[in-house]
Structure 1
Amino acid sequence: MIRTFYFILLLLCSAHSSFGQTIVKLWPEGVPNQKISDEAEYSENTGILKIFNVQDPTLEVFLPSKTLRIGKAVIICPGGGYRYLSYNFEGTDFAKLLNSKGIAAFVLKYRLPDSKSLITPNIAPLQDAQRAMRYVRSQAETYGISPNQIGIMGFSAGGHLAATLGTHYNDTVYEPTTPMDSLSARPDFLVLAYPVITMKEPYAHKGSRRNLLVQEATSDLIEFYSNELQVDENTPPTFLVHASDDKGVPVMNSILFYEALKQHDVPAEIHIYPKGGHGFGLAIKKGHLSTWTDRLFEWMESLELE
């Protein structure tokens, strides 16, 4: 009886219900690259739920009904310039749409590099993204998905994180502590919505670069995180969407990544809309732009994944 009680308590500590179905801690054995500080996570909700100072990274799980499941899954990285997470507008709202198409969704609450809790700030988001991919892959049977049909998508700075995982999935950025850490962190496909891609002038989004690299904007780090320079023939197939009139993150970010993919014969599709600005999310009530998700689902259906 006591043993059963402690088992139930452990489950409650590592996962709890929310407006998704389950929230899973990414690092129940202890968060790497982190020190004790007086920081605490907090949020602001003015229609968009913004989460700041993430201390304990999580995945919020959204599963479609069993009758709808098609075996695909997507990890979602909300944007926010690496300063906060636009958690509902570029996270949970999209997870619900994916579910309606039979696709499992996992919203990643990743650490933000401006936290003084971090030892090496710039690597923390990639650590969380790698662990998230390995966790979802390790639980594929539980969630009713194929371990070879797991993609990652991101919006704005979240798009940068998704592209960073797509180009740095083989990098060792944390010490393995569980059997799941031996699994591949390579996404099977990438979906990048108005993504930050480059850290180089003249197209870098200065806020994302400043927040990610903090005071360490060395030439090596700028090149490491300029994802158009990191593409190779093993980079996952990629879907990109952007607006030409984006004043926050220039459309050349998506174009640079698309050109790099084509140079390495990586399957890629790009949609550039004349209007939409930055941060359009699902683009509800934005006319022609609102059809971008139709193009995405058509592309996902066309993917030939093993």
Structure 2
Amino acid sequence: MKSLWLLPLAACLAQAAHYNIPLWDQGKVPLSVGDGPLDQPFLTVFSPPAGKANGSSVVIAPGGSNIMLMYGAEGMEIAERYNEWGVTAFVLTYRLSPRYDAKARTLDGKRAMQIVRSKAAEMKLDPKRVGFIGFSAGSETARYTVATATAGDPNSPDPVERFGSKPDYVGLIYSTGRPTPGEELKNFPPVFLCAAQFDRGPALGSAQFFTDLTKAGAIAELHLYQKGRHGFGAAFGSSEFGQWMDVLQHFLSEGGFLGK
């Protein structure tokens, strides 16, 4: 498969019949400082081939140091692998720095989970098999989403807010994000951690977070590759860590996140 990570978003989306779902209606985005394209977060839907969908879904948060998004290797290519497994993927375009901070991105992550669950009946998705996987800076949004998740307000006038925002599993790829004051690791869903040892900071952080999760009684799986670098994405054809998504698939299968 040809890598698309250098292509602009418009060119990427033009190559397939995907579509976008805004997280909020225009003019209703919380913490918004404008009404331009960079002020309106959204999800891009990648559906499995006809007849292959198993009801599972995932929100994907690409990395890019919070100043850009790596849509190809950490967005489209990840979504396409998930599609091969029968999973409906939603690539998240979240709000970026310096215009927005982690508070806005946390709201984007939580809303993305609620949007997917609100579409479950319409899209034939299982609302109890909705994951969240983040890459590098996207892992920060993933972890904040877990740490601040709520059960949803059944009395909210906004029907989307009636759904819970906690992922059923989370993937943190070459970053563990930052801890949130008061976060309860024992309440974390199953966590998949992956990094390369040569990428020392994320590797050591992943090892430590695995230890902390294990001590807290949470389910976690850790994979550290002895060679490699930061930002390997889907790693197509890589001799160093090209199998990591196969390992992720096994993790999902063991956890029952790919259906029966």
Q: TM-score, normalised by structure 1?
A: 0.73
What is the alpha-carbon distance in structure 2 between the residues aligned to residue 23 and residue 63 of structure 1?
A: 12
Say how many residue pairs are matched.
241
Instruction: State the partner residue of 2:41.
Output: 57
**1:166 corresponds to 2:146:** yes
1:257 correspondence with 2:209: yes
Pick the aligned partner of 1:238 from 191, 209, 214. 191
- The 8 Å contact of residues 153 and 162 in structure 1, kept in 2 or not, is answered as yes
- Structure 1 residue runs of 4 or more that deviate by more than 6 Å after TM superposition: none
The letter for the 2-side match of 1:23 is N
| Per-residue deviation, 1:65 | 2.7
Partner residue in 2 for 1:112: 96
- Is 188-197 or 101-110 further displaced after alignment? 188-197
Contact 2:47 2:83 in 1 (8 A): yes
Corresponding residue for 1:224? 180
Q: Is the 8 A contact 1:63 1:143 kept in 2?
A: no
Q: Does structure 1 conserve the Cα–Cα contact (< 8 Å) formed by 2:174 and 2:230? A: yes
Question: Counterpart amino acid of 2:108?
Answer: D
User: In structure 2, the residue corresponding to 1:106 is in which secondary structure?
Assistant: strand
Letter in 2 for 1:24: I
Q: Secondary structure at the match of 1:250?
A: helix
Q: Distance in 2 between matches of 1:253 and 1:231?
A: 18
Structure 1 window deviating more from structure 2 (268-277 vs 28-37): it is: 28-37
Residue 251 of structure 1: SS of its match in structure 2? helix
Counterpart of 2:24, as a letter, is: W
Alpha-carbon distance between aligned partners in 2 of 1:138 and 1:232, rounded to the nearest angstrom: 26
SS at match of 1:242: strand
Which residue is equivalent to 2:34? 36
> Equivalent residues in 2 for 1:266-305 (5 A)?
266-304=218-256
Q: 1:171 to 1:103 in 2, by over 3 A?
A: closer
Which sections of structure 2, spanning at least 5 residues, go unmatched? 1-12
- Paired residue for 1:94? 78
* TM-score, structure 2 normalization: 0.85
Give the drift of 1:66.
3.9
2:113 corresponding residue in structure 1: 133
How many Å apart are 1:288 and its aligned residue?
4.1
Aligned to 1:22: 19
Distance apart, 1:35 and its partner CA: 2.4
Q: For the Cα contact (< 8 Å) 1:75–1:108, is it kept in 2?
A: yes
How far apart in 2 are the matches of 1:94 and 1:242? 16
Distance 1:36 1:64 in 2: 35
AA in 2 matched with 1:240: L
Q: Percent identity?
A: 32
Q: Secondary structure at the match of 1:275?
A: coil
Cα shift at 1:171? 9.6
SS in structure 1 of the partner of residue 223 of structure 2: strand
Work out the CA distance in 2 between the residues paired with 1:157 and 1:196. Answer: 9
Written as runs of structure 1 = structure 2, the 5 A alignment for 1:61-210 is 61-115=45-99, 118=100, 121-170=101-150, 178-198=158-178
User: Is the 8 Å Cα contact of residues 276 and 286 (structure 1) preserved in structure 2?
Assistant: no
Q: How far 1:131 moved relative to its partner?
A: 0.6
Superposed CA deviations along residues 137-187 of structure 1, whole A, max 9, x for unmatched, are 011122221000000001001011111112221399xxx661110211000
Amino acid at match of 1:179: P
Aligned AA for 1:263? Answer: K
Q: Could you tell me whether the CA contact under 8 Å between 1:193 and 1:241 is conserved in 2? A: yes
Q: Say which SS state the counterpart of residue 277 (structure 1) adopts.
A: coil
Gaps of 5+ in 1: 1-16, 42-53, 199-222
What is the CA–CA distance in structure 1 between the aligned matches of 2:119 and 2:50, rounded to whole Å? 16
Structure 1 distance, partners of 2:202, 2:175, is: 9
Cα deviation for residue 112 of structure 1 reads 1.2
Task: Measure the CA separation in 2 of the matches of 1:35 and 1:262.
Answer: 40
Q: CA deviation at 1:241?
A: 0.6
